[in-house]
A = this chain, B = another copy of it.
Amino acid sequence: MPAGFSSSDKNDLIESERQVQERIGEMNLDVDALAAVSNIFRVASTARYHMEREVLAAHDLSFTAFTVLWVLWIWGEQEARHLAAESGISKGTLTGVARTLERRGLLLRRTHPNDRRLVLLSVSDEAAELMATLFPRFNAEETTITKVLSSKEQQQLANILRKILRGLEVDASSPE
């Protein structure tokens, strides 16, 4: 089930789902799966938008650009196709994102010394400094998002999502 952003009324989340079930009740659907998956989409989309506005916009970074920088910052210099997979985008998309970041002086690009097909990407010093201040801000906002949950619920959530992820990664691998 897709996003379905509803809102306006805060307490009609479940009511909305009930309405859906009523209208397509004859169809014999898996309502629990529908509720679980659709809420994943909703939360992810809302949280991403939240992060872009509250943390990233001030530095003129898109969520994807931040992700790419983050992967590079944590794991160090790496080849383009690997960075793309790790960032969850296609290699074609990475070409564009890397170009934007390079133009802004946040990303470094060099050809692999032993294989001229390969491109090695890494963060600039400026980007490293930026991430050192930006990522704690980002994490603080993650805390804001999850603080409505108990510590136990947070770990439950992470565990459940890891289970799903493992199942999903069997066939999917990642965009190519």
A2-B66, A10-B169 given; A145·B86 CB < 8 A: no
Q: Which residues of B contact A118 (CB under 8 A)?
A: none
- The listed residue (B4, B43, B71, B166) touching A148 by CB distance below 8 A is B166
- The listed residue (B23, B43, B74, B135) touching A164 by CB distance below 8 A is B43
Q: Which residues of B contact A47 (CB under 8 A)?
A: 37, 40-41, 164, 168
A2-B66, A30-B143, A36-B157 given; A168·B86 CB < 8 A: no
Q: Complex: how many Å from CA A170 to CA B153? A: 21
A13-B166, A169-B7 given; A146·B36 CB < 8 A: yes
A81 to chain B, nearest CB (A): 12
A14-B162, A146-B164, A155-B32 given; A46·B169 CB < 8 A: yes
Bitwise interface map of A from 27 to 59 toward B, beta carbon under 8 Å scored 1, else 0? 101101111111111111111111001000000
A130 CB-CB contact with B under 8 Å: no
Q: Complex: how many Å from CA A136 to CA B135? A: 41
A100 CB-CB contact with B under 8 Å: no
Q: Tell me if B175 and A49 are in contact (CB < 8 A).
A: yes
A20 CB-CB contact with B under 8 Å: yes
Residues of A within 8 A of B (CB): 1-7, 10, 13-14, 19-20, 23-24, 27, 29-30, 32-50, 53, 63, 66-67, 70-71, 74, 85-88, 135-136, 138-140, 142-143, 145-149, 151, 153-158, 160-175
